Amino acid sequence: MENLLDIKDLTIHYVTDDGTVKAVNDFNISLKPGETVGLVGETGAGKTTTALGILKLVSDPPGKYIGGEINFEGKNLFKATEAEMQKIRGKKISMIFQDPMTSLNPVIPVVDQIAEVIALHENLTAAECIKKAEQMLEKVGIKAERAKEYPHQFSGGMKQRVVIAIALACNPALLIADEPTTALDVTIQAQVLELMKNLKTEFNTAMIMITHDLGIVAEVCDKVAIMYAGSVVEIADKHSLFKNPKHPYTIGLFGSIPDIEKDEDRLKPIKGSMPDPTNLPSGCVFHTRCDKAKPECSTIVPKNTKINDEHSVRCILYENEGGK
């Protein structure tokens, strides 16, 4: 099966008066139709910039596309014009933004906000757009009689359902979800995730799930990419990553999560904090926080080493061991 999305060596920087923020560096990932990949990392790892980069929504200035390719359905989006991107956004690639409170227009009824996307991309009459918008609301669990209400009349979970309805209204091939449950309480989180899983299956939509919650990854994703300081340091199918994490950073992430099957007094946090993106360390960007760092880690940039067909890691420990 051919890949729906192929990102090769994507690099995005923000050029500011205080220095150049190296937000995304040599980012590589691929995605098949209907597949879900989790993009996991700390705040500031470059996850949202990557998502905005796919849609060519990084503001210039200060954002600059430094290099790489984003191939979607065989077309390099870097070569697409703004007019072509407007046809792709919402129709072929949709995004659920982090905060539904700020994603919706407060003075327009929710049904009109969904219908607007449908009208942009489909050759339907105004009445047909409204009817389809009402059907999308029903699909996400909101009764059609509430269609004329305004965003302030909905709870946070309901607003997120409206945002999902907007994103899926034109049946996109790829859905990017940027921490879609962050602002919601735990029970509503579970409902929204279940809804997204069901709709993804129904529409056969590929998805990039951006999160820092490994529980969400276990629930929703097929494979996982671990990001650190703008780079993917490890990528694997979900089961391999959870059972056999390789990169010291990935191991550290799992070590900082409580295990209900073990009687432990303390968690094992990763020492230090994320490096300043305007002044990244030389060599391996993680070496200043790594328990397994060797002297050469401060000078050698690790290559991507294959553990197997589904699992690869950027760490010189595995380069020397031939990927074992």
Integer Cα distance of 7 and 31 in angstroms: 9
Integer Cα distance of 153 and 3 in angstroms: 41
The 10s digit of each residue's pLDDT in 164-220 is: 899 988 889 999 999 888 777 888 888 888 888 888 888 889 999 998 888 888 888
Please give the pLDDT value at position 1.
65
Integer Cα distance of 73 and 150 in angstroms: 36
pLDDT greater than 60 at residue 118: yes
pLDDT greater than 90 at residue 7: yes
3-state secondary structure of 100: helix
Confidence of residue 153 (pLDDT cuts 50, 70, 90): very high
The 10s digit of each residue's pLDDT in 232-284 is: 999 999 999 999 999 999 999 888 777 667 776 777 788 888 888 888 899 99
Phi-psi map region of 113: left, alpha, beta (phi>0 left; psi -120 to 50 alpha): alpha
For the residues of 132-146, what is the DSSP string, one character each? HHHHHHHHTT--GGG
The 10s digit of each residue's pLDDT in 74-110 is: 899 988 999 999 999 989 999 988 777 788 999 999 9
What torsion, rounded to 10 degrees, do the Cα atoms 129, 131, 134, 136 define?
A: -60
Give the chain's mean pLDDT.
89
Three-point CA angle 97, 101, 102, nearest 5°: 65
3-state secondary structure of 194: helix
